[in-house]
Amino acid sequence: MKPNTLSRRAAMLLAGVALPISAPAFAQSVDGSAANEYADRGEALDTVVVTAMRREENLAKVPASITALNGITLEKLDIDTTEDLSQYTPSLHIYAEAVGSEKYTIRGIGRTSEDLSADPGVALFLNDVYIPRQAAANLAFFDIERVEVLRGPQGSLYGKNATAGAINVISRQPTEEFSGYGEISYGSYDRITGKGAISGPLVEEKLYARVAFLTDDRDGLYKNLTTGETANDINTRAARAILKFTPTDQFTATLIGDWAKSKQNGVLKSIISDVPGLEYIFFTNNPVTGLPRPGVTPPTQETDLRTARSGINGRQGIETYGGSLNMTYAANGFDIVSITGVRTEESYNQEDNGRAQEITSYNTTAEDTWSGSQEIRLVSTASNEPGDENRFSWTLGVYAFHEEGSRETAIYRNIAPFSGIADFKQSINTDALAVFAEAKYRLLDRVGLTAGVRYTTEEKELQVDAIATRIPGIPAGGPITPFIDADYVAKDSKRWNRVTPRVVLDVYLADDAMMYASVSKGFKSGGFQGTPPAPPLNDFSPEDVMNYELGFKGAMFDSRVQLSGAIFYSDYKNLQLQTFDVNGAPTTATASARSKGIEVEISALLSPGFTVNAGASFVDPEYKDYIAQQPGFSDPAHTFDRSGERIGGVPRYNLFLRADYRHSLGGAGDLVFSGSVVAVDDVVTEFNTLWANEYAKGDIRVSWESPDSNWVVSGWVKNVTDTTYYRGGGPVSKYETDKIRLGLINDPRTFGASVRRSF
């Protein structure tokens, strides 16, 4: 199978558009007030305000590598989830094998194992509240104010589990005047989406409210040739309510509650092969003799990649609840901020692993977790940008976190010697406490120094309850069945402590041109190998990273062009990797690694109403020291030295180009034309066999807006060229030789229309 790909010449052309980092003309920069005046007249790009550094700041003046997308941009690009976000964010890569199986990487790092005690390396926050479980991470985007993606370790202000970076999603807040909107859209595969919000004052100048909702339904894209049913549908419901209380000018309290539920009638995966007729022999051959099992037909790739054969359709879903209370008191020269958060997540997954019709092999997994967090910050309010009288700003804080939950997996197979029934349950209990401080001092009017540090202590306790039976043994050195004759309880706990500093030097070359250099450290929690066969539980060390970065931000041509870029080098120790133990069960290994690369983003207002945005990243992650074990084998003969090789699961380059053009129809409103192109490099497995080919795809949207902007009617086409590519998936049978894999194909070309009414 060879998906549509981007030619090397086209890739270089797109890179040339996205990488004009040598452009001069900084002498024409303007100050912030002038830039805002130009923006109000439609002659300059808007100023973007972010809270990435735990205070409100102009994005162009934050010495860090950050991408920020506002709610309007998210809607124009049809970004519905955090997975969609990766296509328009340099160095961010997200893929989802199913509901609740999202994997995040930034700069090539961040994926985690399936152990309940293993944490992600990309920290996700919703309204400043940490979401610890990746199963709850693929948020449905609706009624969003903006999304901020911070690249590189965020150890001082964001804390643990942000070794690769952090994503902060901020909801739209209640408005002082009554307003709202409603939108409905219909598209291919009977996709019907409805969303809306209503906002306004409940008590004049004292109490405000906002309520938003989302419904999203779509038929399945896959066909199960065994059962005749469809799979991979969409069924999502979500709602959010916000109350904002302002009894005085000094005090504000914001209470947020959210709920979301998604389910699918199973996730059916494709068998994808680069060699015609190659058989997928996972479970279909005898692991001792290597010979085919009598009466069992190994499956091969289907003619239609969105069809597959599975004995069951399976079912998957997730339901989340969350709440937060954000209180701010404006004292004399500083703010006191308190953020209290609670998150719950319940998910389930049932999937057929056998793939051959004669084999019954399926897993059923259920996860249930609860977490609570409390953060208190003191934040100085005086600005200390160039030209300000004040030269010093600071942030102090304390953070506490608790999580408890469980994941239970039941496995059934009818294939000797893997036959049997297994059930094992992991239970987690985590407590973390941190104190942090960061200060910025302007050494000279155009030279600033930022220094921050965070101390974190964390304790984890994991218990595993296992019940399993199987047909007796397999010879030593051969593949081992995951079904171990055992009824046992294993329990262990461990505490880790870390200090994570950050130092940044920024230098302004002009009013709107800045360079910065930074050194930062991050860490990701350690954990335990929570899969069978038997006690005791083996722990794995925390992941540590030192990051070195040079960056640039600037505005040119009266703020009609904004440019940012960074080069980085990250050095990892005890990089946590998902691999498989001698029983074929997912587990966590550690390695030393490094990642280096470059990121560039540019926005340009070419003429009133015509805006172009482009971005690119080139990431080169590599193992420095890593001896990998082939899944299903226990002997040294089946280990491989991967030192010096590319880290799997990550594309080296990611390019995007998008454009928006607004054409006035006079008294009849405006026409808005939007288009985007994305190009992504190929991806290899951990064992350097081809995982997914490079690809390019484009989307277009045309909208009509009424003169008062209260009505918007849009038509859109996604994946215009009907490009086919591999999104990610499960294991292959022989990592070092086979060119066959099991996983998901992207959505085909789809189209639809929407109507939006605002008031």
Please indicate, yes or no, if residue 3 is contained in any of the structural domains: no
Least reliable range by pLDDT among 55-59, 112-116, 615-619: 112-116
Residues 598, 653: Cα–Cα separation, whole Å: 10
Residues 499, 546: Cα–Cα separation, whole Å: 12
Residues 409, 349: Cα–Cα separation, whole Å: 9
Q: Is the peptide bond before 621 cis (omega within 30 degrees of 0)?
A: no
Please indicate, yes or no, if residue 677 is contained in any of the structural domains: yes
pLDDT at residue 25 tops 50: no
Residues 120, 18: Cα–Cα separation, whole Å: 30
Residues 281, 516: Cα–Cα separation, whole Å: 53
Least reliable range by pLDDT among 362-376, 390-404, 625-639: 625-639
Residues 411, 422: Cα–Cα separation, whole Å: 5
Please indicate, yes or no, if residue 454 is contained in any of the structural domains: no
Q: Give Cα 22 to chain centroid, integer Å.
A: 31
Q: What is the pLDDT of residues 270-318, one digit of tens each?
A: 777 665 555 555 555 444 444 555 555 666 677 788 887 777 777 888 9
Q: What is the pLDDT of residue 9?
A: 35
pTM, two decimals, is: 0.87
Residues 574, 548: Cα–Cα separation, whole Å: 18
Token reading at 215: 């419904």
The 8-class DSSP code of residue 700 comes to E
Comparing 278 with 430, the larger pLDDT belongs to 430
710-728 burial code (b ≥16 CB/10 A, e <16): eebebebbbbbeebbbbbb
Q: What is the pLDDT of residues 170-190, one digit of tens each?
A: 999 999 999 999 999 999 999
pLDDT at residue 32 tops 60: no
Q: What is the pLDDT of residue 479?
A: 41
Q: What is the pLDDT of residue 532?
A: 59
pLDDT at residue 22 tops 60: no
Name the burial class of residue 610, with classes exposed (0-12), middle (13-18) and buried (19+) by CB atoms within 10 angstroms of its CB. middle
- Note whether 594 and 569 are within 8 A (CB): yes
507 — pLDDT class (breaks 50, 70, 90): very high
What one-letter code names the amino acid at 444?
L
- Note whether 62 and 577 are within 8 A (CB): no
Residues whose CB is less than 8 angstroms from the CB of residue 232 and which lie 6 or more positions away in sequence, other chains included = 220, 221, 222, 264, 266, 267, 268, 744
3 — pLDDT class (breaks 50, 70, 90): very low
Residues of the domain holding 364: 8-446+459-758
- Note whether 161 and 103 are within 8 A (CB): no
Which SS3 state, helix, strand or coil, does residue 82 take? helix
Given the structure tokens 């050194």, which residue do they identify? 519
Per the structure, the count of domains in the chain is: 1
- Note whether 244 and 252 are within 8 A (CB): yes
DSSP string over 104-134: EEETTB----S-TT---SEEEEETTEEE--G
Please indicate, yes or no, if residue 233 is contained in any of the structural domains: yes
Token reading at 544: 């540590």
Please indicate, yes or no, if residue 2 is contained in any of the structural domains: no
Helix, strand, coil % over all residues of the chain, rounded to 5: 5, 55, 35
Q: Give Cα 611 to chain centroid, integer Å.
A: 27
Q: What is the pLDDT of residue 229?
A: 85
Please indicate, yes or no, if residue 629 is contained in any of the structural domains: yes
Q: What is the pLDDT of residues 339-368, one digit of tens each?
A: 999 999 998 887 766 555 555 566 788 899
Q: What is the pLDDT of residue 17?
A: 33
Closest CA to 585 of 660, 526, 531, 650: 531
Least reliable range by pLDDT among 33-42, 435-444, 571-580: 33-42
Query: What value does the mean pLDDT take over residues 662-687?
Result: 88
Q: Give Cα 348 to chain centroid, integer Å.
A: 20
Closest CA to 550 of 600, 593, 604: 600
Q: What angle do CA 27, 31, 37 make, to 5 degrees?
A: 115
CA distances from 214 to 259, 262, 711 (A): 10, 11, 19
Least reliable range by pLDDT among 1-15, 41-55, 323-337, 450-464: 1-15
Alpha helices in 53-120 (DSSP H): 71-76, 82-85
Q: What is the pLDDT of residues 125-148, one digit of tens each?
A: 999 999 988 766 667 789 999 999
Q: Is the peptide bond before 501 cis (omega within 30 degrees of 0)?
A: no
Q: Are strands 179-187 and 165-171 parallel, antiparallel or unpaired?
A: unpaired
CA distances from 407 to 344, 367, 410, 529, 647 (A): 13, 4, 10, 14, 28
- Note whether 72 and 709 are within 8 A (CB): no
Residues 532, 3: Cα–Cα separation, whole Å: 39
Least reliable range by pLDDT among 104-108, 138-142, 675-679: 138-142
535 — pLDDT class (breaks 50, 70, 90): low
394-403 burial code (b ≥16 CB/10 A, e <16): bbebebebeb
Percent of the chain with pLDDT over 90: 47
Given the structure tokens 């499956």, which residue do they identify? 299
What one-letter code names the amino acid at 421?
I
Q: What is the pLDDT of residues 702-752, one digit of tens each?
A: 999 999 999 999 999 999 999 988 776 544 434 344 456 677 788 899 999
Please indicate, yes or no, if residue 113 is contained in any of the structural domains: yes
The average confidence (pLDDT) of the chain is 82
452-483 burial code (b ≥16 CB/10 A, e <16): bbbebebebbbbbbbebebeeebeeebbbbbb
Q: What is the pLDDT of residue 745?
A: 81
Sign for the CA dihedral angle at 114, 118, 122, 126 comes to: positive
pLDDT at residue 30 tops 50: no
Which SS3 state, helix, strand or coil, does residue 755 take? strand
Q: Give the domain CATH number at 194.
A: 2.40.170.20
**Calculated CA dihedral for residues 701, 706, 708, 712, nearest 10 degrees:** -40
Closest CA to 711 of 247, 182, 177, 221: 182
Q: What is the pLDDT of residue 483?
A: 46
The number of beta carbons lying within 10 Å of the beta carbon of residue 507 is: 15
Alpha helices in 566-695 (DSSP H): none
Name the burial class of residue 430, with classes exposed (0-12), middle (13-18) and buried (19+) by CB atoms within 10 angstroms of its CB. buried
The torsion angles phi and psi of 6, rounded to 5 degrees, stand at: -90, 125
Please indicate, yes or no, if residue 380 is contained in any of the structural domains: yes
